[in-house]
Chain A
Amino acid sequence: MRLDEFPTKFAKLSGPMPVWHGTVDAAQLRSLCEQVERGGGKLLALWGSDELARDAGYAVHISLVTALGMLCLTLPVSAEHPAYPDISDLFPAANRMQRTLADLLGLYASGVDDHRKWLRHGSWPGSVHPLRKNFDGSTVFPTETDAYHFVTVSGDGVHEIPVGPVHAGTIEPGHFRFSVIGERVLRLEERLGYLHKGIEKRFESMTLAQGAKLAGRVSGDSTVAYAWAYAQAVESVTGTTPPPRAAALRAVLLELERIHNHLGDLGYLGNDVALAFGFAQFWILKEDVLRLNNELFGHRYLMDRIVPGGVACDLDSKGRERILQVFGHLEQEIHTLKDIYDEHAGVQDRFLTTGRVTPDLAAQLGLTGLPGRASSQAWDLRAQFPCEPYDKLDVRMATHRNGDVAARVTVRFEEVQESIRLIRQIMDQMPAGELCASIGNAPENTLGIGWVEGWRGEIMVALHTGKDNAIHRLHPHDPSWQNWPLLEHAIIGNIVPDFPLINKSFNLSYAGVDL
């Protein structure tokens, strides 16, 4: 099958995003992946499902992104030979997703070299696959030792520094294994999965209505993006269109989330180069936004404000005035602080050329989202596939070529300013009307996809329905899946003390990938 045929041959899913879905065989799957890769497209997510109860073995699902939109492929896999073609040679980011699929569902990519586990540590045996339907999620196994083979670097003067899972600061747990010579990093290998708490299994015991709250807690700092993506998926399978006012409010919430996260990061990035002043200033601004969120929408991080069908909050003219008032101050402060960051020799010395990911490497390995845009990977759903209300806004995408910490800082500054502009414009054009449409019943065995540009990058929620509005399978996908492996590259040749700075400049989610 030729790639340009998919819009005519595959079914377009209902909803605002350009997503096509089709069932393919192994040869077609490989061929379509090759064509997407050659055409400059990328891999978004890879997951699997247990279809034994429907007499259909298992299934592997892959979503790819091309200039036309998302292409979601389903490959049926037999229960006797649970294998599918490896695609990590085309998309290196597939490596950890494929290993996760082996851990959780026992489906294996044929022909791969890397057979190591990924999300599984020592809490359940390798012969058990928690996402199989015949596995009872409340089974508790005794803890085994976690035998995991790290790649070792040998040579004169090379030594290893193991860090984590518990880190020095208040951050999420993960293990980093540095191989260094003196201060210089030769290699970094990550080991994640510490936060695995069985979110995907948990979803399968929920109905479409119950799942909304859990979706908003996959990665707390992106709760709005996940809640919106989940709502899109539910609306797609039930054929619901949220009212225009709800769509506008959702975008206001999403941009507020982007603003407060970027402000926090800009503060921490100052702190990490010993400019405590930057931390103090930006975190005052962040707190101002959090308090504004709470005052207007009833939650500092806007959890549970987006619900399937619409939103659970509103904005009146007084609220609009408050936002304009806070933004007036915010804009002025950001302007001043940007000048200070730009002109501070010490800060620039640490930011420039540190943790560099060249555009070539970024393209080759699939760097995405905010760090992607700082390395010339010009993808932003709000600009490329704008759903309501972004279709009326002409979003300006922030991109840079340098791919260093400085570029990731600049992208954040530009995106905060753009988000402020967008919110003002949305509020000027705010449609009147309902806040929430009622949700009908979802047909069984239907796929719905939600796809939202969160502050980190693209968040996807893939929802497969079961009987009576139950969730048969749900896969939430965080852009951190793609970007964690690039962090391993960004640190090479840098010094160990710059790792916290580089790590912060990516600010990836652990919870979002450990699930």
Chain B
Amino acid sequence: MYQIIKQILRTGIKTETPPDPDDTLRVEVQRIQKNILRHVGRALAIRCVDAGSCNGCELEIHALNNAYYNIEGLGIHFVASPRHADMLLVTGPVSRHMETALKRTYDAIPQPRLVVALGDCGCDGGIFSPTDSAGNPCPSYASCGKISNVIPVDVAIPGCPPTPIAILQGILTAVSGEAKAP
């Protein structure tokens, strides 16, 4: 126990001790965090669904929980049940095999609900989508393509994978009602 306490004290509070090269980044984190707090008060519950991602986007969602971004410290929680969620955060192109599960999860979230699509794959199907003769991404035998092909999307965050900062920004955009995805 003594060792643990010593280590905690030695580590300090990461969210407030900026290491040199990341000053700009840190200012950004704090600004976004403030904005999110202003809009959601003390609680935003997010349910994540991986609808077909390569798991790269999940890595950055996990990173939001680390001490640098400290998303839980803001009252933003990732919840286990869609029944408890205000927002659905979806990654990947939607695989045909996840189509039903994604729709059911969406239906289970109480209204009003927000949907954020994450990553290039979520935005337009990304590299996994074949293209039709005109060069536009199209569905395949195994993939429905972008998330808005399956459920309505409020905000789509590009990036492969989008950085934690971009994800925070996207969440903020969704809760502040500033944007609708095309």
Contacts and interface: CB of A to CB of B under 8 A. Distances in A.
Contact of B97 (A138, A196, A264): A196
B87 interface: no
A510 B62 CA distance: 17
Nearest to A336: B7
A219 B54 contact: yes
A339 interface: yes
B56 A138 contact: no
Interface in A159-200: 165-166, 168-173, 193-199
Interface residues of A, number: 64
Interface in B70-101: 78, 80-81, 92-93, 95-101
Contact of B95 (A197, A279, A295): A197
A138 B139 contact: yes
A137 B141 contact: yes
Given A197-B128, A219-B55, A301-B161, A172 B140 contact: no
B117 to A, nearest CB: 15
B84 to A, nearest CB: 11
A218 B59 contact: no
A298 to B, nearest CB: 12
A168 B84 CA distance: 12
A202 interface: yes
B7 A511 contact: no
User: In the complex, which range does the number of interface residues on chain B fall in?
Assistant: 35 or more
A11 interface: no
Interface stretch (B34-42, B45-53, B174-182): B45-53
A273 B140 CA distance: 42
B127 A217 contact: yes
Given A137-B140, A303-B56, A343 B3 contact: yes
B54 A277 contact: no
Contacts of A509: 55
B141 A141 contact: yes
A410 interface: no
B11 A281 contact: yes
A340 B4 contact: yes
A213 B163 CA distance: 19
Given A202-B128, A340-B3, A220 B59 contact: yes
A201 B127 CA distance: 12
Interface string B111-129: 0000000000000000110
A220 B57 contact: yes
A141 to B, nearest CB: 7
Nearest to B94: A197
Interface of B: 3-4, 7-8, 11, 14, 21-22, 48-63, 65-68, 78, 80-81, 92-93, 95-101, 105, 127-128, 130, 132, 138-143, 160-161, 163
A-B CB proximity, top 6 nearest: A220-B56, A198-B142, A123-B96, A168-B80, A283-B66, A220-B54
Given A138-B132, A143-B96, A169-B80, 18 more contacts: A143-B99, A168-B80, A170-B48, A195-B92, A197-B95, A198-B143, A217-B128, A221-B59, A264-B62, A283-B66, A286-B63, A287-B66, A291-B21, A303-B56, A343-B3, A511-B54, A511-B55, A514-B95
11 contacts: A130-B142, A138-B132, A138-B138, A173-B50, A194-B95, A199-B128, A202-B140, A220-B57, A221-B56, A283-B67, A340-B7
